[in-house]
């Protein structure tokens, strides 16, 4: 929703200010300039990125319209799920978690939290390390090192869509200059056609520069920033799982292990201690 609202503000501010200054919108309507700029930038984007990145960007951009799914409610579900798993392991032993982590879709614990279960990367991360805890093949130090490596890989992978779109945004003003130069070339070829014709062609050339800058700083650049925040939200969700699992592995009680996870949540989504405690009791 913020994406649409932001675009509307940009459009109304730029074009509304132009109209208020006495301009005419039709003076900015030059499809050939738009084709040169947008088409050139899109072509360069396709050349610069492998198919998997193109598919990821195409999949991620529509999700920006919905806003972040990592809300306080989702974090409370995550912590409540971890608490239940830790409590079961504490009462019945780590082996009691085996059936739950092998088939989380069939687990009576996991299925109580469908919003967490829908995040397949988070569930895979959680079950993979719970499996290592069950088998007892890694100590806390080794597991933390492995988690850090996986999180670093996830961060690098998650930053690719942002970086690729930002690179395209950085190139848009350049394509605007290309369109302007081509417009000037056309103008020079019409130098004998009179001031009115020359003025119209110069204006068309300048529109190319305008569109390149507008598309860069008003559209593509903000989309790249939004993709970056989306990746940061995903990384934070995984980090909460990491911290909670390590706290449990180090021998802390389920209540304390979950509190470790709560502490690393961004303040805007972090539930209060009593709020989380009450929620966990109601869900358990």
- Predicted local distance difference test score (pLDDT) of residue 63: 87
- pLDDT averaged over every residue in the chain: 90
Give helix then strand counts, H and E, for the chain.
13, 0
- Span 251-280, pLDDT tens digits: 899 999 999 999 999 999 999 999 999 998
**For 193-221, what is the mean pLDDT?**
86
- Span 71-93, pLDDT tens digits: 999 999 999 999 999 999 999 98
Q: Where are the domains of the chain?
A: 28-283
- Predicted local distance difference test score (pLDDT) of residue 1: 66
Rounded CA gap, 49 and 34, in Å?
22
And the tokens for 116?
């967490």
Q: pLDDT category, 218, cuts 50, 70, 90? A: very high
Which residue, 107, 99, 101, 144, is CA-closest to 123? 101
Among the ranges given (94-103, 187-196, 197-206, 237-246), the one the predictor scored with the smallest mean pLDDT: 187-196
Give percent above pLDDT 70 in the chain.
99
- Is the pLDDT reported for residue 167 higher than 70? yes
| Three-class SS of 210-231 | HHHHHHHHHHHHHHHHHHHHHH
Rounded alpha-carbon distances, angstroms, from residue 149 to 59, 60, 133, 145, 257:
25, 24, 18, 6, 22
**For 154-169, what is the mean pLDDT?**
93
Q: The pTM is what?
A: 0.86
Rounded CA gap, 24 and 201, in Å?
16
First-residue to last-residue Cα distance in the chain:
34
- Is the pLDDT reported for residue 107 higher than 80? yes
- Predicted local distance difference test score (pLDDT) of residue 283: 81
Which residues are CB-contacts of 110 (< 8 A; sequence separation ≥ 6)? Answer: 81, 100, 104, 116, 117, 123
And the tokens for 184?
């000037």
Give percent above pLDDT 90 in the chain.
63
- Predicted local distance difference test score (pLDDT) of residue 266: 93
- Predicted local distance difference test score (pLDDT) of residue 54: 94
Which residues are CB-contacts of 6 (< 8 A; sequence separation ≥ 6)? Answer: 222
- Span 168-196, pLDDT tens digits: 999 999 999 998 988 888 888 777 777 77
Which residue, 245, 276, 243, 241, is CA-closest to 123? 241
- Is the pLDDT reported for residue 138 higher than 80? no
Handedness of CA 165, 170, 174, 177 (dihedral sign): positive
């Amino acid at each position: 929703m913020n994406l649409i609202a932001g675009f509307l503000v940009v459009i109304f501010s730029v074009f509304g200010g132009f109209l208020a200054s006495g301009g005419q919108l039709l003076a900015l309507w030059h499809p050939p300039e738009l084709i040169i700029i947008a088409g050139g930038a899109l072509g360069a984007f396709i050349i610069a990125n492998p198919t998997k990145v193109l598919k990821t960007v195409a999949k991620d951009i529509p999700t920006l319209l919905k806003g972040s799914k990592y809300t306080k409610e989702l974090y409370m579900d995550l912590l409540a799920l971890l608490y239940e798993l830790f409590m079961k392991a504490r009462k019945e032993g780590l082996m009691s978690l085996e059936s739950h982590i092998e088939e989380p879709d069939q687990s009576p614990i996991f299925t109580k939290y469908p919003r967490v279960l829908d995040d397949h990367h988070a569930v895979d991360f959680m079950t993979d390390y719970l499996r290592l805890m069950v088998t007892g093949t890694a100590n806390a130090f080794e597991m933390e090192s492995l988690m850090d490596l996986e999180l670093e890989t996830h961060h690098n992978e998650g930053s690719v869509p942002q970086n690729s779109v930002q690179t395209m945004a950085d190139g848009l003003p350049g394509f605007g200059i290309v369109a302007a130069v081509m417009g000037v070339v056309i103008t020079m070829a019409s130098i004998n056609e009179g001031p009115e014709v020359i003025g119209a062609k110069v204006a068309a050339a300048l529109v190319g520069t305008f569109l390149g800058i507008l598309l860069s700083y008003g559209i593509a650049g903000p989309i790249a920033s939004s993709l970056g925040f989306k990746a940061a939200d995903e990384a934070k969700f995984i980090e909460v799982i990491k911290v909670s699992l390590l706290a449990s592995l180090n021998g802390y009680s389920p209540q304390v292990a979950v509190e470790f996870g709560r502490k690393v949540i961004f303040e805007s989504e972090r539930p209060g201690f009593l709020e989380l405690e009450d929620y966990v009791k109601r869900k358990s």
